[in-house]
């Protein structure tokens, strides 16, 4: 079954478009048209999940002809731009055709929600680390667009145009107002209040316009509020948990003066990713703090254990020193005692020798005086019987085993 022209007939699901796309359900409707869920009939061997796709149908009931022509221009441009791009963070275009006077664009299906829907569902701002992760991915895709040949300016970067799939990957959708940067004849003034920079209001967008929109998107994710048109306040004023580093990045990206912003998505990405330690300076992360406390506790307990071991070793060493000193003192006392005993022994030996010598010389003197010399005789014969003693010095030591035998 095919959609009829006009807007009185409601199609019955399922129906097939362009002999390939089986439309199964309506996903939503906006000012430019309607979005449907569909299946690719050319992939019968794949699961429904892998065959799923999205069909965008441009509405045809505009009040003014020029509005219809402008909408068709955007629709065709989106198809052309998407067909020329190939990036994992950009939704892929699968088909573009006209049937029964209506225009259709078939794109890959992204399972997930856009960032605006996610924040509304969450009811509170996102964590800084999560915003940084998404912002880096967006910088990558913007760098791809801006360095494409020819360069492509997205011009409509905002939370509702950024899908997050089930793998937490960014997907940019809705390239209706994206255009090649070299298309200088296009002065289309299409803006999203709060996300479009000043220059876009008079049709002078360039790659730095997307940088501005990214800063505004990050502001929304961190504060939960849309930024004011043309003037973006510091996110820290609404969310004090935002680090100084990230706050300064957002403020620079959203400068009204185009030359005061980051001059490329790559430059902004470098600032977001280096140095990483600055990103969490504004608030301590609970897990990091807990881990740090555990480590410090371990170090403290380990330190106490080491101190106890050192104290025990010092006490043992002190005890050994005391015992060694006592042993030295005992040995010194023994040495002095032995020296004293040797000195006493030496004195005793000398006394014995002197007594023996005196006794021997005394007896000889008495013997000579009693007999008297014989006149006319030669040297007395008694002198031959005197004992012979060696010539001892005072310092000599002698062994006297029988001092009485000297008499």
HSE value, Cβ hemisphere, 13 Å, CA-based, for 97: 11
The pair of structure tokens assigned to 78 is: 């989106």
Assign 3-state DSSP to the chain and report helix, strand, coil percentages, each to 5: 50, 15, 35
* C-alpha angle 197-93-100 in degrees, rounded to nearest 5: 105
**Cβ contacts of 403-407, under 8 Å, gap ≥ 24:** 403/352, 403/353, 403/355, 403/356, 406/356, 406/357, 406/359, 406/360, 407/359, 407/360, 407/363
Interatomic CA distance for residues 40 and 94, integer angstroms: 10
User: Which of the residues 40, 156, 174, 210 is marked catalytic?
Assistant: 156
The pair of structure tokens assigned to 164 is: 């997050």
Interatomic CA distance for residues 231 and 77, integer angstroms: 30
**Which residue has 């909408």 as its token pair?**
71
Interatomic CA distance for residues 32 and 68, integer angstroms: 9
**Which residue has 């030359």 as its token pair?**
259
Interatomic CA distance for residues 173 and 117, integer angstroms: 14
Interatomic CA distance for residues 208 and 263, integer angstroms: 6
Instruction: Report the run of H or E that residue 317 belongs to, with start and end.
Output: helix 286-371
Q: Look up 48 and say whether it is catalytic.
A: no
Interatomic CA distance for residues 326 and 404, integer angstroms: 47
Mark 116-137 as b/e (b = at least 16 C-beta within 10 Å).
bebbeeeeebbebeebbebbeb
Interatomic CA distance for residues 249 and 272, integer angstroms: 8
Interatomic CA distance for residues 163 and 116, integer angstroms: 9
**Which sequence positions are flagged as catalytic?**
156
């Amino acid at each position: 079954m095919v959609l009829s022209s006009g807007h009185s007939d409601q199609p019955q699901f399922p129906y097939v478009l362009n002999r390939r796309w089986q439309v199964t359900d309506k996903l939503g409707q906006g000012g430019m048209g309607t979005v449907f869920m569909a299946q690719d009939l050319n992939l019968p061997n794949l699961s429904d999940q892998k065959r799923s796709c999205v069909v965008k149908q441009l509405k045809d009931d505009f009040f003014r002809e020029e509005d219809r022509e402008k909408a068709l221009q955007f629709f065709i441009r989106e198809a052309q731009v998407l067909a020329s791009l190939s990036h994992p963070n950009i939704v892929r275009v699968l088909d573009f055709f006209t049937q029964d006077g209506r225009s259709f664009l078939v794109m890959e299906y992204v399972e997930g929600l856009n960032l605006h829907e996610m924040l509304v569902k969450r009811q509170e701002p996102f964590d800084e680390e999560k915003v940084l992760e998404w912002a880096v991915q967006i910088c990558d895709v913007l760098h791809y667009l801006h360095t494409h040949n020819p360069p492509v300016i997205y011009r409509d970067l905002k939370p509702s145009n950024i899908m997050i799939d089930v793998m937490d990957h960014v997907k940019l959708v809705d390239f209706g107002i994206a255009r090649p940067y070299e298309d200088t004849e296009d002065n289309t003034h299409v803006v999203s209040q709060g996300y479009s920079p000043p220059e876009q209001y008079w049709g002078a967008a360039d790659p730095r316009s997307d940088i501005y929109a990214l800063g505004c998107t990050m502001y929304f994710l961190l504060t939960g509020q849309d930024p004011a048109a043309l003037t973006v306040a510091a996110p820290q004023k609404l969310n004090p948990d935002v680090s100084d580093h990230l706050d300064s990045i957002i403020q620079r990206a959203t400068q009204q003066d185009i030359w005061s912003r980051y001059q490329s998505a790559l430059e902004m990405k470098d600032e977001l990713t280096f140095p990483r330690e600055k990103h969490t300076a504004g608030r301590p992360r609970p897990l990091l703090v807990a881990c740090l406390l555990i480590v410090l506790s371990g170090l403290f307990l380990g330190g106490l254990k080491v101190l106890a071991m050192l104290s025990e070793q010092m006490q043992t060493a002190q005890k050994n020193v005391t015992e060694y000193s006592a042993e030295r003192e005992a040995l010194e006392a023994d040495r002095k005692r032995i020296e004293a005993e040797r000195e006493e022994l030496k004195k005793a030996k000398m006394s014995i020798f002197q007594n023996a010598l005196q006794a021997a010389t005394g007896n000889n003197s008495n013997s000579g005086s009693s007999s008297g010399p014989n006149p006319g005789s030669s040297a007395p014969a008694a002198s031959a019987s005197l004992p012979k003693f060696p010539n001892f010095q005072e310092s000599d030591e002698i062994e006297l085993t029988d001092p009485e035998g000297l008499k």
